[in-house]
Amino acid sequence: MRSKFLRSPVEVLLVAAILLVHLYVALAPANSLMNWYTTDDAFYYFKTAQNIGAGNGITFDGIGRTNGFHPLWMMICVPIFLLANINLLLPLRIVVFLAGMMNAATVILIYRLFEKNKAAFAGILAALFWAFSIPIHTNTVTLGMESTVNALTVTLLVYMASSLDIKKEQGTLTARDFRNLGITAIFTFLSRIDNGFVVGAVLLWALGKHWNSLASSSERAGEAWRRRLRLALLLGLPVGITLLVYLGFNKIYFGTETPVSGQIKRWWGTLPNTVYGFPVDNFAVFLTHLITPQVNIGPWALATQIPHDIANFFELIFKVQENVKTIHRVLVMASSLVMLGLAGWLIKFNWKRFIKLVDRFYLIPFFIGCMAQIISYKSTTYIETLTWYWVSEMVFVVLSGGILADCLIARLEQKKVSTRAFQVAVMAVALLLIAPFCAYILSLAPYQVDPQYAEAYLGGAHALEQYTEPDSTIGTTGGGIVAYFIKDRKIINLDGLISSMDYFQRMRRGKTTEYFDKIGLDYVYGNIYMITESDPYARMFSDRVELIGTVEGASLFRYKPLNPASP
């Protein structure tokens, strides 16, 4: 019996495997479960969602209103973290399984995108790669960030745009299909605000491609323009209204139209002695960022890592020990040229098929949107980009790789390779991906945990509870995990990424002392160099902190208010 949602055994197997893996992690012991959340930033969402549910406003610390997050993931988190009142770990387990569900949906969309365009084998390969590639999983799923829903909505946007072309070819295209793409664009935009570049490019491209769609044979010039205007409104009006509402609400409620976190990271790039990095200041560095395999600064790292992996393989085989850097560069260059040559050869023999899939998958506007997003970061003073910024680029790479795989399959079909051979090859690829993936999951979330490490994830919170008094207010650079688990204390985010616009303005003007005195700051917790030597913290806490000692690997300071309260 065919499932209402899953249309083939391939889809059933993929979804079952993905959900079983995520269920395994969701039910893991607490300390193993916490290995899933590889970034403190996830707990910015979780603590803020918890505060929203508790009626404390849209705040991380219960004091300052903050918009340092992307809206869709926060909306999803709020009802989940109502359950934090029952048990703090319960929402975290739900988030893991929810991430599995969203990842499974992304995988199915990738498969169907290819299958609907008569490239089923390539679709299986692309879906397997997205589902079980460790680099993709670690950067889009095992975070607790918006990256999982972002991948889903970006893939859905491409899928819905491609559906317009398929339905036009089949003669079933209606105005509702344009409206559905416009509504999909809302969710894509809300999943990450910088998706606006991809959304805008895809919608404009769709309008151009379907400029004459839904036209009648007797249509006059005036009627044609009214039809085109209607299509433009169906595509762009939903996300346009959403953008205006988003900007307006932000301005009224938070005092600024755009997320404060992005503004702060651009400000960091103007500081002379910050630990957060340096902005891209010339074209050569920009090009380096485009080809680097470092996933935090390299948008295309999923692709550019491949020649480095090939180079590492040959270095291991031939036991290279001298001139390692030079040999590595030569091997990377050679591998890159071979890969480009192979891709060009495949495209040459399947040019029409290649162009059709590139067109159907909207890869040209997709690429334009990705590059616009990249430039929006790399051409400004923005610093500290992170791995989950580049999810759209990862989707693009997987779709492009799938198209090249289809070109290879088509070439082999021309050589009369049997369907059975393709099936065996797919099974081999699945095994090569799934075996290391399962080992990675078992290592990430073991069910056997040494009792002395059973609550290791609470180390920071417990240590601060030991060295501070109940009802203390503690400022820390970061502090997401500590804020979520600590009891009877209030954590203030000092870097400002999940703080208020008022705090950011004071930080920028060097006027934070009044703010700290007003909220009753008691302690400062963080890296001693960051607090006492680096910008902006050194000037914020100059003569205002007194070192108590090292607590759980970081320094704890007592804050000295400018005007201490009378005893």
Q: What is the DSSP string of 207-236?
A: HHHTTTTT--TT--HHHHHHHHHHHHHHHH
Q: What is the mean pLDDT of residues 381-402?
A: 96
Report CA-CA distances (Å) from 355 to 127, 211, 407: 21, 20, 11
Quick: pLDDT tens for 247-302: 999 999 999 999 999 999 999 999 999 999 999 999 999 999 999 999 999 999 99
> Where residue 566 falls among pLDDT bands split at 50, 70, 90?
very low
Quick: pLDDT tens for 541-550: 998 999 999 9
The DSSP symbol for 562 reads S
- pLDDT of 253 reads 97
SS3 of 361, please?
A: coil
| Sheet containing 490-493, strands listed edge to edge, beginning at the edge strand earlier in sequence | 490-493, 473-476, 523-526, 554-559, 545-551
Q: DSSP for 300-346?
A: THHHHHHHHHHHHHHHHHTT--SSHHHHHHHHHHHHHHHHHHHHHHH
Q: What is the mean pLDDT of residues 172-182?
A: 97
Of all residues in the chain, the percent with pLDDT exceeding 90 is 88
Please enumerate in sequence order all residues whose Cβ is within 8 A of that of 560, keeping only pairs 6 or more positions apart, or say none.
Answer: 543, 544, 545, 546
Helix (H) and strand (E) counts in the chain: 25, 5
C-beta of residue 382 within 8 angstroms of C-beta of residue 374: no
Q: What is the mean pLDDT of residues 52-69?
A: 96
Token code pair at residue 274: 């910050």
pLDDT at 104 over 90: yes
> Where residue 447 falls among pLDDT bands split at 50, 70, 90?
very high
Q: Is the dihedral of CA 365, 370, 373, 379 positive or negative?
A: negative
C-beta of residue 492 within 8 angstroms of C-beta of residue 61: yes
> Where residue 221 falls among pLDDT bands split at 50, 70, 90?
confident
pLDDT at 4 over 60: no
Token code pair at residue 458: 């609470």
Of all residues in the chain, the percent with pLDDT exceeding 70 is 98
SS3 of 553, please?
A: coil
pLDDT at 567 over 70: no
> Buried b vs exposed e over 542-554: b needs ≥16 C-beta within 10 Å?
eebbeeeeebeeb
Higher pLDDT, 6 or 243: 243
Quick: pLDDT tens for 317-361: 988 777 888 899 999 999 999 999 999 999 999 999 999 999 999
- Residue 446: cis peptide before it, omega within 30 degrees of 0: no
Q: What is the mean pLDDT of residues 79-95?
A: 97
pLDDT at 69 over 50: yes
Q: What is the mean pLDDT of residues 27-40?
A: 94
- pLDDT of 564 reads 64
